[in-house]
Structure 1
Amino acid sequence: MLDADLKTQLQAYLEKVTHPIELVASLDDSAKSQELLELLQDIASLSDQVSLDRHGTDARKPSFAINRVGTDVGVRFAGIPLGHEFTSLVLALLQVGGHPSKASQDVIEQVRNLEGEFRFETFMSLSCHSCPDTVQALNLMSVINPNIKHVAIDGALFQDEVNERQVMSVPTVFLNGEPFDQGRMTIEQIAARLDTGAAQRAAEQIKTKAAFDVLVIGGGPAGAAAAIYAARKGIRTGVAAERFGGQVLDTMAIENFISVPYTEGPKLAASLEQHVHEYDVDVMNLQRAEQLIPPADPNGLIEVKLANGASLKSKTVILSTGARWRNMNVPGEQEFRNKGVTYCPHCDGPLFKGKRVAVIGGGNSGVEAAIDLAGIVGHVTLLEFDSKLRADEVLQRKLRSMPNVKVIVSAQTTEVLGDDKVTGLAYTDRTTGDSHRVELEGIFVQIGLLPNTEWLKGTLKLSPRGEIEVDARGETSIPGVFAAGDVTTVPFKQIVIAMGEGAKASLSAFDHLIRMPVAVEQEAEVAA
């Protein structure tokens, strides 16, 4: 099942296991059960600390549990966790086997102290790059706290259950049989949801912080670069981010990051966070900014109010809140979001195996999505608003070679149709004015990004598209407030450009600081 290289690597990892673990398999006569059995036999053969019991009684087959012998500590997988979930499998083996995690001690204690019974089920797909974070977070929580149980379910193998529970995007998490949440989640986010007092405690802690020299709002590539460049100057640096990594966490293949031929978004985001933590940066994750308050005088402190009620003050601020997927803004889109309307073909594509879907958007993202989906679904209809596709020619040639793809240009989507889930869409031919309907089960929206600037309206100057207007130094219309990345008017929304702009904004902020009067230093000390 596992090739020789993987076996060698896994055997080295299993040497870190300190408590005996047992793999308990629930199998039937299917080919997938035989495939799972071969995988588990390979794992058990690599360590004396691992044993295999093939007589499990779980109703989901194939599935297996990883149990710490003599305890009630364990995790469960329904399916064969390869692909993106192979790392989840390895971590589960290590953590159930007693190897410590890299989670902070504060988070571990928070999870350990949660009261109540929590039975989590995560529907995932092996091609989903967002799913492993959620699966690994819940697996670790179940190892830390025996009152938490978790099973990761491969939706592609349990289609009947997917249909019955109307799972149309991954990861989808159920808690005690009821919908809990959808999308990528970290252990910090899940623990905060379950721990009702967490937000207030975080707010009280933030209120005690001294004023910063540079405060970065946002933790994507631009924010990470800005924080690193500021910290290297030896000045007091803080980062407040709603989720560290930003839009990169939702990106699959990255092949144009100079000097790195190929990487994936979550891996790059983890490297960014690790690099930031190598410096003296105060990182405040899971914090959403809600208001920017300019200083009362040109050399005063800038204030940023957070959603939890706390405020942060700084001599300079760098805004790098990034962007999010743009919505179609048509009737039915929000009603059927995650019920057939989705924004991640890599994550949710396997849930639509053999079905009819549409891709909205003819740029690189849309055409790449159509190509990927064509290998999974029954048929793809790509709709482009313009009179021609805008994707690179190499992608268009590949698209035209796919026999189960239909391209419709000059098409304006007007409505998402459905009952309890998507059944089709309506569009208008912009050339003739005629209206048409397409029957399908899924709609993948790929029409670009929308800047996260709603909270800044009326505070600083924004472009007609809602982007923060910046000059050549990254400075906004408010002195001392800089901006970088996809949230700004800088053209070409690319990771490498965002990083460069973040570094530039940080250097500009430092230049601004050294030109400020000494009185501001004294004011900052008083605020502290």
Structure 2
Amino acid sequence: MLDANLKTQLKAYLEKVSHPIEIVASLDDGAKSREMQELLQDIVLLSDRIKLVEQRGADAQGRTPSFKLNRPGTDISVEFAAIPMGHEFTSLVLALLQVGGHPVKLDDKVIEQIKNLDGDYRFETYVSLTCQNCPEVVQALNVMSIINPRIQSVTIDGALFQGEVEQRQIMAVPTVYMNGEVFGQGRTGVEEILAKLDTGAAARKGEELSAKEPYDVLIVGGGPAGAAAAIYAARKGIRTGVVAERFGGQVLDTLAIENFISVQETEGPQFATALEQHVKAYDVDIMNVQRAEALVPGDKLIEVKLANGGVLKGKTVILSTGARWRNVNVPGEQEYKNKGVAYCPHCDGPLFKGKRVSVIGGGNSGVEAAIDLAGIVAHVTLIEFAAELKADAVLVRKLKSLPNVTIVTSAQTTEITGDGQRVNGISYKERETGEIKHVPLEGVFVQIGLVPNTEWLKGTLALSKHGEIEIDAKGQTSIPGVFAAGDVTTVPYKQIVIAVGAGATAALSAFDHLIRSSADDVAPAAAKEAVAA
């Protein structure tokens, strides 16, 4: 199951295990059970602290194959109703280490908050092994269950348990159930989960943030632009803070990155982790899982008001809040979001295996999505508004070579239809004839570009007609002392490498502004002293 290289790496990790681990596997005679058995037997051979117990038949929840990682003599356990390879292999390795006594990497305050949760929680997380957003949720819930045994966590591969997926009408991953009810969907971390379980946490956090001293540079947004700005500011030796809704930003939703100079190939979540680790190497105050709601300019200090009621202050502010997937804004899109309407083909594609889907958008993202989905689903209908596909020629050639793809150009999507529970089709208008056509299908993937995250800034500073923050060559906005960088701005090309450069520019400009402002403050005082003399 595991190749020689993986075995060598895993053996080195398992040397950190300090407590015995008992793996209890629920197996039957199926091919997937044999595959799971092979994986678990490989693991057991790599450490004398790990024991495998095989039992025939389903586990207590009626699932097979599945397995539990237990710490004997305790209530600590983590469960997988999955063969955790692909993106979830890291989740398996971390679970082994943590059940085996290796310290968890969380802030002491967060650990204490998890321990103090008063309640019994059973989480079921439905994932796909190709989903790059799922591991963060899985790992967050696993570590919480290890810290507090009243929390139970099971990871379920939706492709392995399609009956459950159909019964619960799960159309997007990750989808998390808590005590039998839907708890959340999409990427989320420990602090976000805690905020939902501990209802008083947000207000306490707001008070804590409001008590912080003003920053020389306060950066709003933790994507590539914000990370670069933080590093450049911190290297100047000035007080630097980063407040972000999720550190890493849109990069977290990116699968392959092959054009960041000096990094030949990586994946979005790994790149985001590297960004955060680089920032943490400096004296930067990172305030994650915090949403900015208002910018209030002032003569000396600029305020950023947060959703939890907190207020942060900065002598300068750099806005790097990035962008998000653009909605197609037709009837049915919001109603059927995560019920057949999806935005991440890599994450949610496996849930549509053997079904009919549509991709809206003929740019690189849309064509790449259609190519990927064609290898999983029964049929793909790609709908493009323009007369021709806008994607690179090599991608278009590949798409046209696929037998289960239909390309529709000069078409305006008019409606996503459904039966009240899930998507059942898509309607579009032929732009040349005005005729409305309907395509029966089970899923719609929207891939039509980005929209800047600037709603909270409207009426405060100058925005372009597309909602982007207007900046000059130095990243200066229409408000003195407020700078901006990255995809949220009027920069013409939305690329990671460009965002990083823009973040550095904004930080250097903010530092220059601080120097000049302090010189202006000193000058009048010096003049008064000269007159007095």
Q: What TM-score, normalized by structure 2, do the two folds share?
A: 0.96
Superposed counterparts of 1:451-466, under 5 Å = 451-466=452-467
CA-atom RMSD in angstroms: 1.2
Residue-by-residue CA offset, 1:52-95 (whole Å, 9 max, x unaligned):
11116411111111111111100100020001100101111110
Give the Cα separation in 2 of the matches to 1:461 and 1:449.
Answer: 19
- The reply to whether residue 148 of structure 1 matches residue 138 of structure 2 is no
Residue of structure 2 equivalent to 1:429? 430
Contact 2:227 2:275 in 1 (8 A): yes
The superposition leaves residues 314-344 of structure 1 with CA deviations (integer Å, 9 ceiling, x where unpaired) of 1111000000100000001000000000000
1:226 match:
229
Equivalent residue number for residue 503 of structure 2: 502
Matches within 5 A, 1:299-310: 300-310=300-310
**Could you report, residue by residue, the CA deviation over 1:177-204 in whole angstroms, capped at 9, with x for unpaired residues?**
0000000111111112111111111111
- After the TM superposition, which segments of 4 or more aligned residues of structure 1 sit over 4 Å from their partners? 518-522
Residue 187 of structure 1 corresponds to which residue in structure 2? 190
Q: CA deviation at 1:143?
A: 0.6
Letter in 1 for 2:455: E
Partner of 1:285: 288
Structure 2 residue identity aligned to 1:510: F
Q: Which residue of 1 aligns with 2:526?
A: none
1:383 matched residue in structure 2:
383
Query: Contact 2:207/2:309 (CA < 8 Å) preserved in 1?
Result: no
SS at match of 1:515: helix
Q: Deviations over 1:342-391 (max 9, x none)?
A: 00000000000000000000000001100110111111000011110001
Letter of the 1:47 partner, please give it.
S
Question: Counterpart of 1:173?
Answer: 176
Q: Distance in 1 between matches of 2:402 and 2:340?
A: 23
**In structure 2, distance between residues paired with 1:90 and 1:136:** 10
Equivalent in the alignment of 2:485: 484
Classify the secondary structure of the residue corresponding to 2:483.
strand
Match of 2:14 in 1: 14
Query: 1:526 aligns to what?
Result: none
State the secondary structure of the residue aligned to 2:55: coil
Matches within 5 A, 1:319-334: 319-334=319-334
Which of 66, 81, 89 is matched with 1:63 structurally? 66
Q: CA deviation at 1:164?
A: 0.3
After superposition, the C-alpha distances for 1:429-460 in whole angstroms (9 at most, x for unaligned) are 11111100000000000000000000100110
Tell me the distance in 2 between the aligned counterparts of 1:101 and 1:382: 45
The letter for the 2-side match of 1:317 is V
Q: How has the CA–CA distance of structure 1 residues 521 and 503 changed in structure 2, closer, same or farther, with 3 Å as cutoff?
A: farther
2:350 equivalent in structure 1: 350
CA pair 521-23 structure 1, distance change in 2 beyond 3 A: farther
Task: Tell me how far apart the structure 1 counterparts of residues 520 and 303 of structure 2 sit (CA, whole Å).
Answer: 18
Counterpart position of 2:84: 81
d(CA) in 2 for partners of 1:9, 1:106: 32
How do 1:157-306 and structure 2 match up within 5 A?
157-295=160-298, 297=299, 300-306=300-306
% of aligned pairs identical? 71
Count of matched residue positions in the alignment of Structure 1 and Structure 2: 519
User: Which residue is 2:37 aligned to?
Assistant: 37
Q: Tell me whether 56-65 or 362-371 shows the greater mean CA deviation.
A: 56-65
The CA deviation at 1:303 is 1.1
- Distance in 2 (alpha carbons) for counterparts of 1:303 and 1:137: 32
Residue 400 in structure 1 maps to residue 426 in structure 2 = no
Once the two structures are TM-superposed, the CA of residue 400 in structure 1 deviates from its matched residue by: 1.3
Query: 1:517 deviation in Å?
Result: 3.6
Structure 2 distance, partners of 1:291, 1:169, is: 32
Residue in 2 aligned with 1:93? 96
Tell me the equivalent position of 2:26: 26
C-alpha distance in structure 2 between counterparts of 1:500 and 1:271, whole Å: 17
Partners in 2 of 1:244 and 1:331 — Cα distance?
32
Within 1, Cα distance between the matches of 2:84 and 2:125? 13
Does residue 122 of structure 2 align to residue 132 of structure 1? no
Per-residue CA deviations over 1:298-324 (Å, capped at 9, x if unaligned) read: xx2111111111111111110000001
Unmatched runs of 5 consecutive residues or more in structure 1: 523-528
Following superposition, the deviation at residue 518 of structure 1 comes to 5.3
Shift of 1:401: 1.5
Task: Give the CA deviation at 1:132.
Answer: 0.4
**Match of 1:368?**
368
Q: Deviations over 1:122-158 (max 9, x none)?
A: 0000000000000011011111100000100000011
